[in-house]
Chains A and B, each alone.
Chain A
Amino acid sequence: MTTVGLPAASPTAFGTARLLGGVTHGGRADLTTHRRVHGPQHHRTLDELAADASRVRLLGRGGAAFPVATKLAAVPVGPRTQVVVNGSESEPASRKDRTLMTLTPHLVLDGALAVARALRTTHVTIAVHDEAAYASLRAALEERTRREPVTGRVDLHRQPAGFVSGEVRAVLRGLDGGPAVPPSRRTLPSVSGLHGAPTFASNVETFAQVALLISLGPAEYAAVGDPEEPGTTLLTLLGDTRTRGVVEVPTDLPLDALVPGEGGPVLLGGYHGRWVHDVVGRTAARPGLRAAGLPLNAGVVARLPRDVCALAEVTAVARWLAAQSAGQCGPCLFGTAAAARDVGELLRGRAAPAVEARVAGLVRRGACAHPDGTAAFVASALEALPDELAEHRRHGTCGRPYGGVLPLDGAG
């Protein structure tokens, strides 16, 4: 029996622990520890912060990998402007954001407060789903009330579960009391976000990276990692990987150091990501991966053990993805369900002649990226698993059991 399941509780740093600095034996860094490791909170003007972010080519660590400097420059400065930390981490396999919020909440707060100060606003909102993360951030804010009073407000909100609800525009709608589903118009949060005000919204790790960039300075920040995307990044590893759970790695770390040689197929970039045979020659840097058509998204890397049925894993996730459709857009509602049914047919060794057309019919036909991400997941699995598909076609099964390596309940 393969040991699988949720990542271990204790995160690991390969090389330099930066984001995870101060986290010893998986313990939470309180304000005293945080200040000892990272020093006092410093502030930067918007121009300085944007220049530093540009110099280290800081990219958003949610899904879209958008340049932080560009995003900073796009948001109007002033007291109406909102800063939103998207801590919904709705990807069930990902644990990195809740790890940061739970173990290093002050790093996240330093980053959010620095961005707010640079944008000359005092409005910071954090949307969280996970209970432990919420409790830790609350405790962190209480620690600060006593010792480092925050100017302005930090609103902490519990966010409903759901994959599509974690999309930033869905989060903003939910925070405004609406349904936590993506809006139909492609409005930019920088123009009209929270309460209709200009909004700088980004993922939890992005804010933690901003705090590191300020405390280390751009030169030291860029002293490790790939020149295309210097620094470190968090990944969540699961399945048959060298270590399991959340890891902090320099961005130039070869991925086969984490997902070694002989083994089953690898999923890069989580459930909106892509299946590949192996990760030889790849590093954790997003620009290089993206150039190869492999978005890292929120940093989930999974390797299936050889003794589980890969097609059953793919089918289970495809069904889960179909169930996650908000049901707003017809091609997604019907198309994701049909694609999941087709994959289920292939699993049983039956023919699914329309599967490729169905997957193609999901691309760019929705209000958000869910149908596109689902299409990428299914299409790349069909490409990366020719032997498994042939086995199932021939015998109706590969003889290996479903392992439940890819979790389906994390967002629930």
Chain B
Amino acid sequence: MSRAARIEVDWTRCDGHALCGLLLPENLANDADGFPLIHRAEVDPANLRHARRAVSACPALALRLERT
């Protein structure tokens, strides 16, 4: 069963590595400094796998997936 989820950034941890934009372009992109710009916080169930991969790839542990 798929549940709704939101992608969230812990801004105090984020160092702008800019991997998240490559791994989850459906929800966010990285600005010139590498910090994410979330254009859509809600993650489609179909993209949950991508979202989880982006969360675990973040070197700063700054990306979170929150159940809604």
Contact = CB atoms under 8 A, between A and B. Distances in A.
A331 B34 CA distance: 9
Interface in A165-212: 183-185
28 contacts: A183-B12, A184-B11, A184-B12, A184-B13, A185-B10, A328-B11, A328-B12, A329-B11, A329-B12, A329-B14, A330-B11, A330-B15, A330-B33, A330-B34, A330-B35, A331-B11, A331-B31, A331-B33, A331-B35, A332-B11, A334-B33, A334-B35, A365-B9, A365-B11, A365-B35, A365-B37, A366-B11, A367-B10
Given A361-B31, A361-B37, A330 B10 contact: no
Interface string A312-339: 0000000000000000111110100000
B16 interface: yes
Contacts of B33: 330-331, 334
A228 to B, nearest CB: 32
Nearest to B14: A330
Contact of B10 (A184, A331, A334, A361): A184
Interface string A365-379: 111000000000000
A329 B11 CA distance: 5
Given A330-B15, A330-B34, A331-B11, 11 more contacts: A184-B10, A184-B13, A329-B11, A329-B14, A330-B11, A331-B35, A334-B35, A361-B31, A365-B35, A366-B11, A367-B12
Interface in A96-141: none
B18 to A, nearest CB: 11
Interface of B: 9-16, 31, 33-35, 37
Top 5 A-B residue pairs of the complex, sorted by shortest distance between their CB atoms: A329-B11, A184-B12, A328-B12, A330-B35, A184-B10
Interface of A: 183-185, 328-332, 334, 361, 365-367
A329 B15 CA distance: 8
Given A330-B16, A361-B31, A367 B37 contact: no
B66 to A, nearest CB: 11
Contacts of B12: 183-184, 328-329, 367
Contacts of A332: 11
A331 B32 CA distance: 11
A381 B9 CA distance: 29
A331 B30 CA distance: 11
A328 B35 CA distance: 13
Nearest to B31: A361
A367 B11 contact: yes
A183 B11 CA distance: 10
Nearest to B10: A184
A367 B13 CA distance: 10
Contacts of A183: 12
Contacts of B37: 361, 365
A305 B11 CA distance: 39
Contacts of B13: 184
B6 to A, nearest CB: 13
Contacts of B15: 330
A352 to B, nearest CB: 15
